[in-house]
């Protein structure tokens, strides 16, 4: 879903053909990618933490 959104934005900016817009877009895109990556990592860490607690409770 995110990738489709990115492609749509890319096409709309390419249609405008404005280099400044592309530069801003790339900056926004990298920020979005980092935030998504960060949230995924945080979720994974949280899941691991919860699983460890469950394993301890089972034992």
- Residues 8-42 pLDDT 10s: 767 776 666 666 666 777 787 788 888 888 888 88
pLDDT band at 43 (very low <50, low <70, confident <90, very high): confident
Who wins on pLDDT, 43 or 17? 43
Angle, CA 3 vertex, CA 11 and CA 5 arms, to 5°: 55
**Cα(17)–Cα(14) distance, integer angstroms:** 5
pLDDT of residue 19: 61
Give the predicted TM-score (pTM) of the model.
0.43
């Amino acid at each position: 879903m995110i990738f489709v959104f990115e492609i749509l934005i890319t096409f709309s900016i390419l249609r405008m053909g404005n280099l400044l817009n592309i530069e801003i877009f790339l900056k926004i895109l990298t920020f979005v990618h980092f935030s998504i990556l960060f949230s995924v990592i945080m979720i994974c860490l949280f899941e691991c933490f919860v699983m460890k607690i469950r394993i301890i409770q089972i034992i």
